[in-house]
């Protein structure tokens, strides 16, 4: 039971790191020079289809947040994954136009807040994963000694910590995708 749960959390964390990494890679930092517009003929222009993708991604993200708050983590995770896919598509196809647009000081501030919230949630999830692994180890030790009550107690505690870590990792993904939402909000206007 513990290995599949651990694998699920690790996969979730890795997917969130890729979301955060994509956001960090495309976000502009102050003092960074503006990229030159591409003059290649194969450049995809953002159009009405991209507006639809953006609005769908935002809707999925809003739904994911509601599901997570209602403790439907599996559904929230699936919605975050779908929203991430749509934002990744937007990044690939509209990234050049997005990079040409500077963030306002307020947007930069919100981006920094979201990055910090995502990093804090991931750090807390990591700490919970370590605590859960320690409780799982204690549970196994007590089970080997025939102390089933203590074994079950530590196993329950480990499960709770794994579940909370999973929730926090999804929440970190939502924070990272909120930055993507903000960066591409010009599509929704």
What are the structure tokens assigned to 173, written together?
């993904």
DSSP state of 71: T
For residue 108, being part of any structural domain is answered with: yes
Question: What pLDDT is recorded for position 163?
Answer: 95
Question: What pLDDT is recorded for position 42?
Answer: 45
Burial degree of 54 (CB within 10 A; 0-12, 13-18, 19+): buried
For residue 91, being part of any structural domain is answered with: yes
* Short-list 109, 79, 70, CA closest to 15: 79
What is the C-alpha end-to-end distance of the chain, expressed in Å? 47
For residue 148, being part of any structural domain is answered with: yes
For residue 2, being part of any structural domain is answered with: no
Low-confidence ranges of the chain (pLDDT < 70): 1-44
Question: What pLDDT is recorded for position 120?
Answer: 97
Domain count, the chain: 1
* Short-list 13, 2, 21, 3, CA closest to 167: 13
Query: How far is Cα 70 from Cα 66, in angstroms, rounded to an integer?
Result: 6
Q: Which domain holds residue 143?
A: 46-188
Query: Rounded to the nearest 10 degrees, how much is the dihedral formed by the CA atoms of 43, 48, 50, 53?
Result: -160
For residue 4, being part of any structural domain is answered with: no
For residue 150, being part of any structural domain is answered with: yes
Alpha helices in the chain, H assignment, sequence order: 2-26, 48-69, 73-99, 105-144, 148-183
pTM for the full predicted model = 0.74
Beta carbons of 61 and 79 less than 8 angstroms apart: yes
Question: What pLDDT is recorded for position 186?
Answer: 85
Directed axis angle between helix 73-99 and helix 2-26, to 10°?
20
For residue 14, being part of any structural domain is answered with: no
* Short-list 18, 10, 21, CA closest to 130: 10
What are the structure tokens assigned to 78, written together?
């699936």
Question: What pLDDT is recorded for position 28?
Answer: 41
For residue 30, being part of any structural domain is answered with: no
Question: What pLDDT is recorded for position 137?
Answer: 95
Question: What pLDDT is recorded for position 43?
Answer: 53
């Amino acid at each position: 039971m513990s290995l599949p749960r651990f694998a699920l959390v690790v996969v979730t964390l890795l997917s969130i790191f890729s979301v955060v990494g994509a956001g960090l890679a495309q976000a502009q930092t102050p003092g960074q020079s503006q990229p030159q517009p591409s003059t290649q003929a194969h450049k995809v222009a953002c159009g009405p289809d991209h507006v639809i993708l953006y609005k769908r991604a935002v809707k999925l993200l809003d739904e994911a947040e509601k599901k997570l708050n209602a403790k439907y983590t599996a559904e929230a995770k699936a919605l975050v994954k779908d929203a991430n896919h749509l934002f990744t598509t937007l990044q690939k196809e509209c990234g050049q136009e997005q990079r040409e647009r500077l963030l306002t000081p307020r947007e930069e501030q919100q981006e920094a807040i979201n990055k910090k919230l995502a990093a804090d949630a991931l750090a807390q999830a990591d700490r919970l994963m370590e605590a859960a692994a320690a409780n799982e180890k204690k549970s196994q030790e007590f089970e080997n000694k025939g102390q089933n009550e203590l074994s079950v107690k530590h196993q329950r505690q480990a499960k709770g910590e794994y579940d909370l870590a999973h929730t926090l990792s999804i929440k970190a993904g939502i924070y990272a995708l909120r930055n993507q939402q903000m960066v591409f909000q010009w599509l929704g206007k």
